[in-house]
Amino acid sequence: MNRIIYHLTAFLVVALWGTTFVYTKLLLMAGLTAAQIFVLRFIIAYVMLLAYSLPKKSFRLFASSWKDELLMAALGLTGGSLYFLTENSSMIYTTTTNTSLIVCLSPLFAMALIGMFYRSQRLHGIQIVGTLMAALGVIVVVLNGHFVLHLSPLGDTLAFMACLCWAFYSLLMIPANQRYRTLFITRKVFFYGLVFMIPYFMIWPGMPPLSVLTRPDVLGNLLFLGCIASMVCFLAWNWAMKKIGEVAVTNYVYFNPVTTVLFAWMVLSERITLYFIIGTVLILAGMYLCNKAEG
């Protein structure tokens, strides 16, 4: 029963992350930049986590050693600022299809990277078949019957960098989870994610005026992205990683485009095609094989 709860948590996190494109798009239409949206949602998440952590007896500001503090900084860079900057920037230079396809295949890279360092985390036999089947399902869902990719070296490279960032984040979470609580790790991810954005804003300064930020629609979207999509989802994701392993949890990223399409269908009335259904079946079958073989 506990394992079902852990897997369900990872699934729900991905489902929520799949809806964020709508909220982000509305904020972009309101005049905010991608970097501003990222910083504002991380500020909200960090302040709320800090306020929750401060009264606790177990509160600590720094890790046990400078090496572990560097590990936390690396998590903030790979899972925070660098990941979001490369992913959002890639869509400027290449199509959304290319970006989605490359980024949503991050479990393949995470599986290979983690397997190089941790033999116990390697997939075997039917699990490999399952994750490849899920990856094929992602390709079918994202391409949606239009099997033409418009290659863009710069944009596709940025999307690939985002994919690698998430793979390295998954790898670095293994030693972090072995030594620290989920709450501490998540708070440090938000903190260093913001710290590494300072050079960006030194080059491209500017934040939205208060009159824009206090608009009900803008404030509501930012609160959802900061409180739910960032704070709650990162806490739940890192907790699930601690319980069932980084590879098993990262595989749920395959389901991200499915929830995105479903949410677009419900909110934006976008059409669901036969390719979406076929791809979803492949993803679900692949995830089932991975989890069944896992135990």
- Could you write out the DSSP letters of every residue in 51-69? HHHTTSTT--SS-SSHHHH
pLDDT at position 88: 75
pLDDT at position 147: 57
What CA–CA distance (Å, rounded) separates 285 from 136? Answer: 11
What element of type H or E holds 34? helix 34-53
Most confident range (mean pLDDT) of 1-5, 113-117, 152-156, 287-291 is 113-117
More confident residue, 118 or 123: 118
More confident residue, 136 or 203: 203
Which residue's structure tokens are 């976008």?
270
What CA–CA distance (Å, rounded) separates 187 from 207? Answer: 23
Q: Return mean pLDDT, the chain.
A: 83
Instruction: Render pLDDT for 216-247 as a digit per residue (tens, 0 to 9).
Output: 999 999 999 999 999 999 999 999 988 888 87
pLDDT at position 186: 93
Which residue's structure tokens are 């994750």?
131
Confidence of residue 264 (pLDDT cuts 50, 70, 90): low
8 A C-beta contact, residue 88 and residue 159: no
| Dihedral pair phi/psi, residue 58, rounded to 5° | -85, 5
Query: Backbone dihedral region of 211: left (phi > 0), alpha (psi from -120 to 50 degrees) or beta?
Result: alpha
Q: Which structure tokens are listed for 218? A: 């803008």
In single-letter form, the type of residue at position 283 comes to: I
pTM, to two decimals: 0.81
